[in-house]
Amino acid sequence: MSSKSFDPAAREMIDFGKKNNFELVWDRLKEQQPQCGFGELGVCCRNCVMGPCRIDPFGEGPDKGVCGATADTIVARNIVRMIAAGAAAHSDHGRRPALLLKEVGEKENRDYEIKDEAKLVNVAKKLGINIENKDKFQLAKEVAEIALNDYGKQDSNSIKFLESYAPKLKEKLEQIEKALYEKTGKIMGVLPRNIDREIVDIMHRTHIGVDNDPLSLILQGIRAALGDGWGGSLIATECQDILFGTPKVHTVYANLGVLSPDEVNIVIHGHEPVLSEKIVEIALKKELIEYAKSKGAAGINVAGMCCTGNEILMRHNVPIAGNELHQELAVLTGAVEAMIVDVQCIFPALANLTKCFHTKFISTSDQAMFPGADHIQFEEDRADEIAEKIVKIAIENFANRDKSKVNIPEHKNEAIVGFSVEQILEALGGTVEPLIDAVKNGKIKGIVGIVGCNNPKVEQDYFHVNLAKELIKRDILVIGTGCWAIALAKAGLLSVDYANFAGDGLKSVCKVLKIPPFLHMGSCVDCSRMLVVASAIADTLNVNISDLPLFGSAPEWMTEKAVSIGTYFVASGIPVHLWPIPPILGSKEVVKILTETAKEVFGGYFIIEEDVEKAVNIMEAHILEKRKALGI
């Protein structure tokens, strides 16, 4: 059996793929060996055509590029460009539901509606909107306008979402800007002024011959990342909750075993729920189920993949077929009529692989085209019509399924999901006080938020699952999102009973509140939910987020989005563990800024650790240190 994955369903399918000569991500990784050492260290520069240049890490070759850029400059420029891309992906995602909310508010779009009026009112109040005598449409319009203004305003004030959701952090960031100016005489801003602007600023200052100072570069990276976490991602979460409903706690199934042997299987993969919400809704229509039956299927089975899967799993009873490294494996089952994709984390390799089966690979976004895919353009103002068209294509494709090729692994597990901030508060009786009491009396030592991806360089899900298991043994509550949350759902860990494997303190809290020791908080943009919880705890205790016994981790990360998430955690005051190593080791200065200077300035910092136990030891030590400082 393959050791490429910790997940038995994946191991089965990887072996099946190998036996039948299907090329998978692990094969392509092998083909790439040895990977570029300059790239791994971050010392390769392609920012102008006097290059490409690279710095010799052994000190035997060139120590600067043609323009004179040192390893410190090159590494810093490269890593902040990663942040820019990650922040752009999340924030551009957030723009879509914000625009849609405005259209719904203006009654220009009638395919969507406001499903959570209570949340709309709460968000409006938080943003300081006067809610008197305003109907839901007016409020939706005003909330959306503030959100969209945060993307495009041209003044130098902080974005409104950060200011409204984390006033204390805003104050702290202002003090940091002031202190930096007093110390250096240089203007180095960290408060995001405009979500888009901070990303553009990075692209500007990393152009040849602009910013060459690693500290100034990294601080701009932090600014853009904060514009993601407290801006773009938060806007995505809040607008989506208003439009599609705030997640509620419920049970779903997870893993490839959710694919049905006798129904039309539609897998929705990507990130933006604007499309997937519609597919879920349309697939429940009686006429379409009847249509599927007329084509010989028992019904229609919609399953999610990656973070769009998380979005629909959080809000509906929709199972999830897997996380990032499952996308090709789902196709290998031979039982997928359509793989429908929007944006982000979608392998272009799916185009070739789906051709070996009857699976239709359907792209839908004007931003994400895949050579070899069928493109059906999704448009919000024709959402019902287009979703129906896509579902019908899947149904009609059922006749092409070759039953002799169907090979669905049996593995699937039940998972309790849906822990939005609102649901956590409800479980706690309306306030964060009971959680704070549990932290104060030591039943819960601290909280770790785990995020992010799979990466074929790491045994799939191994680090996610084992890190989480080890943390709860030490009475550390684990919350998280993204492919981590899917990993735990697949492994059957998202259950109240699993609290039996936690330390006595955490176990007792979970049993009283009837919650698992691991809380699935949603997709990657929903890391904003974790920030909101951290901010609520800090406000209640009247301390900064950096004073709290918290830690973050991205133990199998691979995307630029994860770099942005890690950075906004750090800048918000939460240290972050990473594995694999980010491409920064080519610069001692950049390593120092991210691991030491960040700690002095923001309270958060990065650590890199490959070993589960060692990583947990570091996290626990930080948590205990913070508890001591708080006097608890």
For ligand BF8, give the closer residue by CB, 109 or 559. 559
Query: Measured from the CB of residue 51, what is the shortest distance to ligand BF8 in angstroms?
Result: 29
Residue 268 interacting with ligand BF8 (CB under 6 A): no
CA pair distance 402, 548, nearest whole angstrom: 56
For ligand BF8, give the closer residue by CB, 105 or 452. 452
Interface with ligand BF8 (CB under 6 A), residue from 74, 234, 321, 483: 483
Interface with ligand BF8 (CB under 6 A), residue from 561, 577, 622, 626: 561
Residue 339 interacting with ligand BF8 (CB under 6 A): no
Interaction pattern, residues 316-335, with ligand BF8; x per rule: CB under 6 A = -------xx-----------
For ligand BF8, give the closer residue by CB, 73 or 237. 237
Interface with ligand BF8 (CB under 6 A), residue from 45, 222, 345, 521: 345
Task: Point out which span in 37-45, 147-155, 558-566, 599-607 binds ligand BF8 (CB under 6 A).
Answer: 558-566
The 10 Å Cβ neighbour count of residue 397 is 18
Residue 577 to residues 226, 557, 614, Cα–Cα distance (Å): 18, 10, 11
Query: Measured from the CB of residue 525, what is the shortest distance to ligand BF8 in angstroms?
Result: 7
Query: Measured from the CB of residue 483, what is the shortest distance to ligand BF8 in angstroms?
Result: 3
Residue 490 interacting with ligand BF8 (CB under 6 A): no
Task: Point out which span in 357-365, 384-392, 556-564, 624-632 binds ligand BF8 (CB under 6 A).
Answer: 556-564
Task: Point out which span in 252-260, 368-376, 554-562, 624-632 binds ligand BF8 (CB under 6 A).
Answer: 554-562
Query: Measured from the CB of residue 559, what is the shortest distance to ligand BF8 in angstroms?
Result: 4
The 10 Å Cβ neighbour count of residue 595 is 16
Within 8 A by CB and 6+ apart from 98, the residues are 144, 147, 148, 151, 235, 239
Contact 537, 432 (CB under 8 A): yes
Conformation bin of residue 447: beta by default, left when phi > 0, alpha when psi is -120 to 50: beta
For ligand BF8, give the closer residue by CB, 452 or 603. 452
Task: Point out which span in 220-228, 247-255, 540-548, 557-565 binds ligand BF8 (CB under 6 A).
Answer: 557-565
DSSP output for 558-591 = -SHHHHHHHHHHHHHT--EEESS--TTTT-HHHH
Within 8 A by CB and 6+ apart from 20, the residues are none
Amino acid at 184: T
How many residues sit close enough to ligand BF8 to count as binding (CB under 6 A)?
15
Residue 452 interacting with ligand BF8 (CB under 6 A): yes
Structure tokens at 286: 């009686």
Query: Measured from the CB of residue 122, what is the shortest distance to ligand BF8 in angstroms?
Result: 25
For ligand BF8, give the closer residue by CB, 452 or 573. 452
For ligand BF8, give the closer residue by CB, 217 or 236. 236
Interface with ligand BF8 (CB under 6 A), residue from 409, 446, 449, 482: 482
For ligand BF8, give the closer residue by CB, 22 or 347. 347
Within 8 A by CB and 6+ apart from 309, the residues are 268, 269, 276, 303, 318, 320, 321, 322, 486
Residue 444 interacting with ligand BF8 (CB under 6 A): no
288, containing H or E segment: helix 286-294
Q: Where are the alpha helices (DSSP H) in 106-232?
A: 117-126, 136-152, 160-165, 167-184, 195-205, 214-227
Task: Point out which span in 70-78, 103-111, 327-335, 559-567 binds ligand BF8 (CB under 6 A).
Answer: 559-567
Contact 421, 533 (CB under 8 A): yes
Query: What residues between 23 and 42 interact with ligand BF8 by CB under 6 A?
Result: none
Residue 307 interacting with ligand BF8 (CB under 6 A): yes
Q: Where are the alpha helices (DSSP H) in 398-541?
A: 421-427, 433-440, 462-473, 482-490, 504-513, 527-541
For ligand BF8, give the closer residue by CB, 357 or 484. 484
Structure tokens at 607: 């650590």
Residue 306 interacting with ligand BF8 (CB under 6 A): yes
For ligand BF8, give the closer residue by CB, 38 or 569. 569
The beta-carbon contacts of 291-298 under 8 Å, at least 24 apart in sequence, are 291/392, 291/395, 292/263, 292/264, 292/395, 292/398, 295/264, 295/395, 295/396, 295/398, 295/399, 296/398, 296/399, 297/262, 297/263, 297/264, 297/395, 297/398, 298/260, 298/262, 298/263
Query: Measured from the CB of residue 329, what is the shortest distance to ligand BF8 in angstroms?
Result: 14
Interface with ligand BF8 (CB under 6 A), residue from 354, 466, 559, 564: 559
Q: At what angle do helices 306-315 and 273-283 cross, to 10 degrees?
A: 60
Query: What residues between 521 and 540 interact with ligand BF8 by CB under 6 A?
Result: 523-524
In the complex, the residues that contact ligand BF8 under the rule CB under 6 A are 271, 306-307, 323-324, 345, 452-453, 482-483, 523-524, 559, 561-562
